[in-house]
């Protein structure tokens, strides 16, 4: 039983991708909320003077990277938490009883969840173009992909860690309201963090998504609060920490 088993990781990845592609309603559902945000916030605030917004950046340009980050946050966290729904339908036992290390299972889950979250984020990015979004250049896209992958890995790991603490999907609503939405609001996705009250700002800087959104903004629209290197570094660190955390907590799931 190798600690890292590529074929098992591939099997888990393939399963996630097949399930995702086979259920169009899931794809539509996953991008509907960020798309609505984009549509209504992007048009509704288009002429408004948002405090702290860089002068030469339109609100839509500012918002799109934020909404892409939001899509990743949701898609990836739910992908990580899908071990709970697997448990509910019994399929988790089939995975846990197989001669595969827990690390490989977590990596497979991350591979699958990241892929489906990436597809959702790219869809949002593409759908933003008819609304008037213009990325700085084609070179921006591969760089953005790096940030998307790091965000995905961070939050799938986060989702696995969360799911390991819950025994059923009942906790989902609680997590969405008290964990995922606060992460979203504290990420600078909709407005600059500088506009937040001073007491809350430090929380935003503890949020990995803050660096993800800022990094996406840097590469997609050329406007950022920090240097790209700091964003990438912070996100890389958070992805490593979250994978370790997810794997460690999931490891404990086996030996209840």
Query: What is the distance of C-alpha 195 from the center of its chain?
Result: 23
State in angstroms the smallest separation of the CB of 22 from other proteins: 6
Three-state DSSP at 68 gives helix
**Which tokens hold the place of 40?**
């209504």
132 close to 149: Cβ distance less than 8 angstroms: no
State in angstroms the smallest separation of the CB of 79 from other proteins: 15
Stretch that binds other proteins, among 81-89, 117-125, 154-162, 216-224 (CB under 8 A): 81-89
φ and ψ of 196, to 5 deg: -70, 150
Task: Scan residues 145-184 and list those touching other proteins (CB under 8 A).
Answer: 164-167
Given 67, 73, 95, 124, the residue binding other proteins (CB under 8 A): 95
Question: DSSP secondary-structure letter at 243?
Answer: H
Residue 12 CA to residue 107 CA, distance in Å, equals 9
**Which tokens hold the place of 90?**
């019994």
Q: Is 134 in the site for other proteins (CB under 8 A)?
A: no
Task: Scan residues 16-45 and list those touching other proteins (CB under 8 A).
Answer: 18-19, 22-23
State in angstroms the smallest separation of the CB of 1 from other proteins: 3
Q: Around Cβ 138, how many Cβ atoms within 10 Å?
A: 7
State in angstroms the smallest separation of the CB of 161 from other proteins: 12
**Interacting residues toward other proteins by CB under 8 A:** 1, 5, 7-8, 10-11, 14-15, 18-19, 22-23, 87-100, 164-167, 253-256
């Amino acid at each position: 039983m190798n600690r890292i088993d590529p074929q098992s990781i591939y099997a888990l990845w393939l399963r996630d991708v097949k399930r995702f592609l086979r259920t169009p309603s899931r794809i539509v559902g996953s991008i509907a909320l960020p798309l609505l945000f984009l549509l209504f916030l992007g048009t509704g605030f288009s002429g408004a003077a948002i405090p702290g917004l860089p002068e030469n950046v339109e609100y839509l340009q500012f918002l799109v990277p934020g909404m892409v980050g939001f899509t990743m946050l949701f898609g990836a966290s739910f992908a990580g938490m899908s071990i709970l729904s697997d448990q509910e339908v019994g399929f988790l036992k089939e995975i846990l009883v197989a001669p595969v290390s827990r690390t490989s299972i977590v990596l497979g889950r991350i591979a699958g969840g990241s892929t489906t979250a990436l597809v959702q984020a790219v869809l949002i990015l593409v759908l933003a173009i008819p609304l008037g979004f213009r990325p700085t250049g084609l070179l921006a896209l591969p760089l953005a992909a790096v940030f998307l992958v790091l965000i995905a890995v961070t939050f799938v790991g986060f989702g696995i860690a969360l799911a390991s603490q819950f025994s059923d999907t009942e906790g989902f609503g609680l997590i969405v309201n008290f964990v995922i939405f606060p992460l979203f609001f504290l990420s600078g996705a909709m407005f600059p963090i500088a506009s937040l009250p001073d007491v809350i700002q430090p929380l935003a800087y503890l949020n990995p998504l803050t660096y993800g959104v800022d990094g996406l903004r840097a590469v997609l629209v050329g406007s950022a609060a920090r240097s790209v290197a700091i964003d990438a570094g912070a996100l890389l660190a958070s992805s490593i920490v979250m994978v370790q955390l997810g794997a460690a907590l999931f490891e404990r799931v086996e030996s209840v």
